[in-house]
Amino acid sequence: MLGYTLLGAGWLMLKTEGALQDWAWRRIRRRATAVIVVLGVAFVAAFAERTRTVGELGSRPWGVVFPLLGIAAVIGIFAGVRRRREAWPFTMTVLFFRAAFATLAVLFWPYMIPYSITVGNAAAPESSLSFLFWAAGIFVLPVIATYMGVVYWLFRGKARKGYG
């Protein structure tokens, strides 16, 4: 929930101006600090609970890239607020979320449900995957991507005038 409030405040900074943007500027730092504290506690608790994770991460040293990327993104959020760069907090929050999910994937690989079901065990039958590729991958996803591109193009720029 805290992460989404941070993402929303970054979006408001990117897409608005005036009083609403100033309101979002004032809240970014506290939201980012709260997200760091909560994820820090969760990170420590996860390592305390599951010592297997530490051993698995040690066997994949390349997996340290994602937590480092997340730390760099958090630094970017604070730097963007300090330098008053409108796009930085939103962009860095998105990068932070992606790095956090990639870190989870590295920590739990090859498990889909940690320590019980692997990716291979959770995979769908070949016929289902083929149908999904042809139906969703070739037809549905391009339609959705085109729709989202058109909507984003129509609503590009800043919201200059609010409701009165």
- H/E stretch holding 21: helix 19-49
Over its length of 164 residues, how does the chain's per-residue pLDDT go in tens digits? 999 999 999 999 999 988 889 999 999 999 999 999 998 898 787 777 666 555 555 667 777 899 899 999 999 999 999 999 999 999 999 999 999 889 888 877 788 887 788 888 888 899 998 998 998 889 999 999 999 999 999 988 888 765 55
CA angle, corner 91, sides to 14 and 21, nearest 5?
A: 20
pLDDT at 113: 81
pLDDT at 57: 58
pLDDT at 26: 92
**Which long-range contacts (C-beta less than 8 Å, at least 24 apart) are formed by 101-109?**
102/66, 102/69, 103/63, 103/66, 103/67, 103/70, 106/57, 106/60, 106/63, 106/66, 107/46, 107/53, 107/56, 107/57, 107/63, 108/53, 109/56, 109/60
Buried-exposed string 25-34: b where 16+ CB fall within 10 A, e elsewhere:
bebbbebbee
pLDDT at 48: 72
